[in-house]
Structure 1
Amino acid sequence: MTTVITKEQWQGIANTLKSGLYRWVEFRLDGHGIRVYLARIAECELAYCVYINGEMPRAWAADSDGFLPIYRKVLRRVVTKPYAKGIAKIKKDRGGRAFLKAKENAWIHETRESWRPWFVSVKSLVCQFSKIKGLELVTPLSEVMEVKDAC
C-alpha cells in the first residue's frame, strides 16, 4: 500500500535529517531500500548521503557498468562542461570565435552528465524526493515527527 507523504511529513523528515550527524530516514522504492544520512564526505564538509540497499552507489555515469535505473530517480544529477576553461581562452584569441563555430570542433561544447549519491542541502533532497512517485516512508512516523525545528 503506497501512501503519499504529506507536506508536514516532509518537514519532519527534513528536521530529522538536520537534527544531528548520522541520523537517518529510510524509504522504499521499486523494491529497493533507500537510506539517507547526514554524514561527512570530506574533512570539513557534510552532505546528505543516499544509500541504496545498504551501499553507496559506485557507478555515477549513465553509460557505466552497474548503473541502475533507480539512480536517475534518487541521486543528484550534475552536468559539467569539461572544456569550459579552454573555450574561454580560445575566445580571446584572434579567430577564436570562428574556430568554436566550426562543425568539426563541436566536440568542445559537449557536456557530461553524472549522478552523485549526496545532496548538499536538505532542501534540495526533499525537493527531488517529493517528486518521486511510489516512494514509501519506512521509518516510523513517530520517529520522523518527534524532532522539532533543530536548525
Structure 2
Amino acid sequence: MSITKEQWAGIEESLKSHYVVIKFQYQGTEIAVTRISAGEGKTVLAVWFNGKTHCAWGIPGSDHFNPLCELFWHKRTKSLYSPKRIKELQKAYGKRAAKRVIPNIEAKYTYYMPYFSKASVLVRQFRRIEGLTVDDQQKWMVL
C-alpha cells in the first residue's frame, strides 16, 4: 500500500524532531531514516539499508556500488578542477592548449551521500519512489 499525502506530512513533521527513527520497506529491504550528529551543533538525516551503510556504495563504477543509493541517497556532483584552477590553466597555456593537454578540464563526477540536511528534501525525493511503504501500525519513534 502506497503512502498517502497525510502520512507524508506526518513523516516530514516527525523527521524535523531531534531524535527520530522511521523505517520504510522497499522490495524486501528495510530503509531506516535516523537523525545523527554531523558535528558540533549540527545534525543530519541518515539513510540506512537493513541497518548498514557503507561509503563505497554511493560511488558509481565501484565494485561495491549499491543501485538503491540512486533512489534513496542524496546525489552530489563535483568538478574535477575548481573554476579558479581552470582559469589559471587557461591563462598560463591558453584556452585551446589547456583543452588539448587536459581534455576533461570541464568534467564532473557524480556520487551519492546517505545524508540529508533537511526533512523536506528527503521527503521530496522519497515521494517519487514507486513501491515504497511504511507500516501503518508502526508508530515511528520520536523521542
TM category (shorter chain) comes to: 0.7 to 0.9
Match of 2:116 in 1: 119
Residue among 75, 78, 83 paired with 2:73: 75
Q: Unmatched 5+ residue regions in structure 2? A: none
1:16-42 CA deviation, whole Å, 9 max, x = no partner? 111222x11100111110000111122
Aligned to 2:2: 4
Q: Taking every aligned residue pair, what percent have the same amino acid on both sides?
A: 29
Distance apart, 1:90 and its partner CA: 2.6
- Using the alignment, how far apart are the partners of 1:80 and 1:64 within structure 2? 17
Q: Aligned letter for 1:30?
A: Q
Cα deviation, 1:52-74, whole Å, max 9, x if unaligned, reads 10012321211112211111111
Alignment of 1:130 onto 2:127:
yes
Is the contact between residue 47 and residue 120 of structure 1 (CA under 8 Å) also seen in structure 2? yes
For the pair 1:46 / 2:37, whether they are aligned, the reply is no
Question: Displacement of 1:100 after TM fit?
Answer: 4.1
Mapped pair 1:58 → 2:55: yes
C-alpha contact 1:51 1:57 (8 A) present in aligned 2: no
Q: Given the two structures, how large is their TM-score scaled by the length of structure 1?
A: 0.81
Confirm or deny: 8 A CA contact 1:38 1:47 kept in the other structure.
yes
Unaligned runs of 5+ in 1: none
Query: Contact 1:26 / 1:139 at 8 angstroms: preserved in 2?
Result: no
Is the strand fraction higher in 1 or 2? 2
- In the aligned structure 1, how far is the partner of 2:53 from the partner of 2:106? 31
Give TM-score scaled by structure 2 length: 0.86
Select 1:30's aligned residue among 17, 20, 27. Answer: 27
1:121 and 1:98, CA in 2 relative to 1: closer, same or farther beyond 3 A? same
> How many residues were matched structurally?
139
